Amino acid sequence: MKYIEVTFTMESTDLFRDLLVDTLGNEGPYESFVETKDGLKAYVPIDKFDKTWLRQQLKELGEQFSTFNFQLSIREMEDKDWNAEWEKGHQAVLVEYDGGSVWVRAPFHPHRDDVSYELIIEPKMSFGTAHHPTTYMMLSYVAELGMMGKRVLDMGCGTAVLAILAKMRGAAYVEGVDIDEWAFNNARENAASNGVEIMLKLGDATVLKGSFDVVIANINRNILLADMYKYAAVLNPGGTLLLSGFYEADEQALVAKANTLGLTLKSKKNREGWSALQLIKNV
């Protein structure tokens, strides 16, 4: 498949890289991103590239943030170039949490013995490598909280990075659900590479059945607000809901919604403007 590469060169990279990844990747059809020294490269299949949509998103970001200044270049590229480019720009990530560390690497990165958990994740075009602050925070939660013998649901599993860690930490049953077929297939490959068994389902909250002790959902503000009642419905009393995929500014809206569903905020994490919440279902 042919891809379009959109290169952003920016003065202020930290916040705007994340904003672009969120806008283009979560709300749009962009499938992968490579961070560069002074910006970001974003990749979209040529048949999904819509210049008018892109222009509109950038205009809205510019209206929201007066410091959003960038230069843009667009080029068509071949598969082969794209893969090589991606591998060059893809770094392994060390997630440090209270009590240990998780090393998330691709098969072409070196193995490490000095970590608590090592995950081999070949994301290809799915989201979930620990580079993103939301994945980083959710991995810390999964590493810190008790998973032994639990039934865990990972909504919007992407690469299944969170589901895989939950299983490695002793969860009895782990289910991963993603609406995107590419992510679904990629999750299956990653589960196999890490030697763990995960029940994977293609779809959204409508496929949910049964009950869980832990529900994890790193998606985005609007989907979480719309579907949280379905996550709460499959969560056992006393169970844990971990949410991420939104900015600190949206925390209140998410907590208020959770409270109406019988969930209470227990803790939160923040990283680079992003938020992760730990909520407990009232008994």
Ligand X SMILES: C[S@@+](CC[C@H](N)C(=O)[O-])C[C@H]1O[C@@H](n2cnc3c(N)ncnc32)[C@H](O)[C@@H]1O
Footprint on this chain of ligand X (rule: CB under 6 A): 126-128, 135, 138, 155-158, 161-162, 177-180, 183, 204, 218-219, 223, 245
Report in angstroms how near the CB of residue 125 gets to ligand X at its nearest.
Answer: 10
Report in angstroms how near the CB of residue 26 gets to ligand X at its nearest.
Answer: 6
Please tell me the distance from the alpha carbon of residue 58 to that of residue 149, in angstroms, as a whole number: 46
Closest to ligand X by CB, 28 or 239 = 28
Closest to ligand X by CB, 6 or 177 = 177
Q: Are strands 3-10 and 70-77 parallel, antiparallel or unpaired?
A: antiparallel
Report in angstroms how near the CB of residue 46 gets to ligand X at its nearest.
Answer: 20
Please tell me the distance from the alpha carbon of residue 11 to that of residue 199, in angstroms, as a whole number: 44
Is residue 277 within 8 Å of 244, Cβ to Cβ?
Answer: yes
Listed in sequence order, the residues at least 6 apart from 167 whose beta carbon sits closer than 8 Å to its beta carbon are 152, 174, 191, 196, 197, 198
List the alpha helices (DSSP H) in 194-239.
221-233
Closest to ligand X by CB, 120 or 161 = 161
Report in angstroms how near the CB of residue 221 gets to ligand X at its nearest.
Answer: 11
DSSP 195: T
Report in angstroms how near the CB of residue 157 gets to ligand X at its nearest.
Answer: 5
Is residue 116 within 8 Å of 103, Cβ to Cβ?
Answer: no
* The pair of three-digit structure tokens given for residue 53, joined into one six-digit string: 């949509």
Closest to ligand X by CB, 84 or 226 = 226
* The pair of three-digit structure tokens given for residue 64, joined into one six-digit string: 């929201």
Cα–Cα distance list, 66 to 12, 59, 62, 69, 73 (Å): 11, 11, 6, 8, 21
List the alpha helices (DSSP H) in the chain.
14-20, 51-64, 79-89, 133-144, 161-168, 181-193, 221-233, 251-260
Please tell me the distance from the alpha carbon of residue 214 to that of residue 281, in angstroms, as a whole number: 10
Closest to ligand X by CB, 13 or 32 = 32
Report in angstroms how near the CB of residue 158 gets to ligand X at its nearest.
Answer: 3
Please tell me the distance from the alpha carbon of residue 25 to that of residue 29, in angstroms, as a whole number: 6
Closest to ligand X by CB, 77 or 204 = 204
Report in angstroms how near the CB of residue 23 gets to ligand X at its nearest.
Answer: 12
Closest to ligand X by CB, 9 or 247 = 247
